[in-house]
Amino acid sequence: MPRRHSHFCSRFLAPLLAALALGGALHSAQADTLKTEAEVRALADKVMAEAGAGRTDDAYGLLSPYSLVDIRALENARTQARSSRMAIEALVGNSVGYEFIRSEKVGQSLLKLTYIEKTERQAIPWMFIFYKAPTGWAVSTFSNGADVDALFDH
């Protein structure tokens, strides 16, 4: 990615990622849960369908009920994404869809789903980590950003 794009993306996407990473404080386990891995994948696909249609705010909204992350951190990230969406589209173009990349499971309790949001000029990685709590699967953390190269570090 040219330096100009890298600086731009890090300026707008880094605060979003930081809010999610630092917002790992659990609230009192009030999150809705999903019962099966198939339900987890279906939710992530719905989120990505919204993201792939350029409706990032709606994508975040679908995650909210299932989030183990402090809801304030999620809402801060959602607000940041909402305010930077037009600037991101000016850089990479409009969203034109999404693609599922891979699923990785660690033990019986962690599931990571990786996607890309496809735009006219750039892929935007989205990664979701679900934790299997005693009541079912919930979103432990998620991120989206400009580091397409990280998709190849597998």
Per-residue pLDDT tens listing for the chain (154 residues): 444 444 444 444 444 443 344 333 333 346 799 999 999 999 999 999 999 998 888 898 899 899 887 777 777 777 777 767 777 788 888 899 999 999 999 999 999 999 999 999 999 999 999 999 999 999 998 888 878 888 887 5
Determine the pLDDT at residue 138: 96
What Å distances lie between residue 4 and 9, 43, 92, 96, CA to CA? 9, 34, 12, 22
Task: Compute the distance between CA of residue 146 and CA of residue 130 in angstroms, rounded to an integer.
Answer: 21
Query: Crossing angle for the helix pair 71-92 and 56-63, nearest 10 degrees?
Result: 160
**Cβ(34)–Cβ(40) below 8 Å:** yes
Residue 63, domain extent: 3-152
The sign of the torsion formed by the CA atoms of 146, 107, 25, 47 equals: positive
Tokens describing residue 12: 């707008």
Tokens describing residue 75: 């809402």
Alpha helix ranges (H) inside the chain: 3-22, 37-52, 56-63, 71-92
The tally of domains found in the chain comes to 1
**CATH number of the structural domain spanning residue 139:** 3.10.450
**DSSP one-letter code for 46:** H
pTM score of the predicted model = 0.76
